[in-house]
Amino acid sequence: MLGVQMVRVKGFVLTEKLLFKDGRIMFDWWDEIDESKEWQRFIFHLLSASYAVVSIVALVQLCRIQLRVSEYGWTTQKVFHLMNFIVNGLRAVLFGFYKSVFLVKSKALEMVLLDLPGLLFFSTYTLLVLFWAEIYHQARSLPINKLRPAYYSINGFIYFAQACLWISVRLSQSNLAVELSRLFISVISFCAALGFMIYGGRLFFMLRRFPIESRGRQRKLFEVGFVTGICCTCCLIRCIVSTLSANMNAGLDVLDHPILNLIYYMFVEILPSALVLFILRKLPPKRVSEQYHPIR
């Protein structure tokens, strides 16, 4: 028995077929969208536009911060917004030219184009972990001189190891190197989630011990708690998906799976970035001029 229903969504016609087999209903609308060139173009351009919006928001916020405290140079907050602008802008360009990216002949080059923004995303958001670690160590009167070198060393090792894997994919042309690369992404995503849980959790519970009447306590609790939860969740999702992709020897970034790409990137990068930028939208306080003496 075969029933056919036509569904029109924003100018696209989707045929939903109900296949009755062994008393069960099977929907093949997912496959139909995956095979539709129009839906592919719509979904990938939607991803590109979404990344572009987040990138522009990060750039606008960076400009606002620079205008507010231009004399401070490149603070952690400014670098964080700059890296958000770069990461999301790069993703927007890649998804805007999705056919050229997904149909590139060299597997190694395709992996570089698709994995590099993910590594930059890791560096961007572990910068928050570094910032929180510095705050926590300063509050506990612990040394902080080794935190930044550790951040640079860890990121340097990750980029070096990933570059070696890309070279291995190019030279060996084997699936093993591809699977190792996906597992590597999974491992660093788990480590990022662990970093957020450790230092986000420490900072959150330290703030909770502050007196209730402390200025800004509630807002900081909200910021740290929500950002920790958001970043942990997106990193763990990336970890799980990358692990499954390696075990099943199936790539996520393929042209004929636009729905999977939409769901994955929305929950792993776009929504987390947008939410974090919204939560951390507050500008730093203006610096009081040395020639200005407030009324006491």
Provide the pLDDT for residue 127: 95
| Domain shared by 174 and 184, yes or no | yes
| Domain shared by 92 and 218, yes or no | yes
From CA 217, how far away is CA 211, in angstroms rounded?
8
| Domain shared by 97 and 43, yes or no | yes
| Domain shared by 150 and 275, yes or no | yes
Torsion angle of the four alpha carbons 77, 272, 47, 165, in this order, in degrees rounded to the nearest 10:
80
Is residue 168 in a domain?
A: yes
Provide the pLDDT for residue 213: 62
Token pair for residue 151?
Answer: 């951040």
Is residue 292 in a domain?
A: no
Is residue 108 in a domain?
A: yes
| Domain shared by 113 and 248, yes or no | yes
From CA 153, how far away is CA 108, in angstroms rounded?
25
| Domain shared by 11 and 104, yes or no | no
Domain count, the chain: 2
What are the φ/ψ torsions at residue 214 (nearest 5 degrees)? -60, 135
Provide the pLDDT for residue 160: 97
| Domain shared by 22 and 96, yes or no | no
Is residue 120 in a domain?
A: yes
| Domain shared by 232 and 177, yes or no | yes
Is residue 284 in a domain?
A: no
| Domain shared by 107 and 5, yes or no | no
| Domain shared by 133 and 28, yes or no | no
| Domain shared by 22 and 93, yes or no | no
Token pair for residue 226?
Answer: 């929500």
Provide the pLDDT for residue 36: 74
| Domain shared by 165 and 112, yes or no | yes
Task: For residue 264, give the CATH number of its domain.
Answer: 1.20.1070.10
Provide the pLDDT for residue 270: 95
Is residue 8 in a domain?
A: yes
Is residue 41 in a domain?
A: yes
Is residue 171 in a domain?
A: yes
* Domain that residue 11 falls in: 1-35
Question: What parts of the chain have a pLDDT lower than 70?
Answer: 1-28, 30-31, 34, 211-215, 249-256, 287-296
